Amino acid sequence: MKNLIIVLVVCSKCGAHLGHVFENEYGPGTRRYCINAVCLAWQEEDKIKRFE
Ligand SMILES: [Zn+2]
């Protein structure tokens, strides 16, 4: 598979492995997130802390 980039996702606080992001897996510009569900938390939209 050409141009497949796999990005390791880790916790910014402790370095724990959270999952991977697969760039270009389904074609140029596509991105598939494969994140452990245990790492996810639901929040009200107005309470989301955004990182820019
Ligand atoms: Zn952590």
Q: What is the pLDDT along the chain (52 residues), one digit of tens a residue?
A: 567 889 999 999 999 999 999 998 888 889 999 999 998 888 898 988 777 6
Q: Please state the length of the chain.
A: 52
Domain count, the chain: 1
Q: Has residue 12 been placed in a domain?
A: yes
Examine residue 42 and state whether it is found in any structural domain, yes or no: yes
Task: Please indicate, yes or no, if residue 41 is contained in any of the structural domains.
Answer: yes
- Tokens in use for 29? 């510009």
Per the residue annotation, which of 11, 14, 34, 39 is the catalytic one?
Answer: 34
Q: To which residue do tokens 């402790």 refer?
A: 14
* Cα 24 to Cα 3: distance, rounded to the nearest angstrom: 7
Look up 34 and say whether it is catalytic: yes
Answer yes or no: is 37 within a domain.
yes
Expressed as residue numbers, the domain containing 35 is: 5-47
In a domain, 16, yes or no: yes
Q: How far is the CA of 48 from the centre of ligand 1 (A)?
A: 18
Q: What's the CA gap between 31 and 29, in Å, rounded?
A: 7
Q: Measured in angstroms, how far is the CA atom of residue 41 from the centroid of ligand 1?
A: 13
The alpha carbon of 40 and the centre of ligand 1 are apart by a number of angstroms equal to 12
Note whether residue 52 is domain-resident.
no
E strands within 1-52? 5-10, 17-23, 31-35
Q: Which residues does residue 6 pair with via DSSP β-bridges, in sequence order?
A: 22
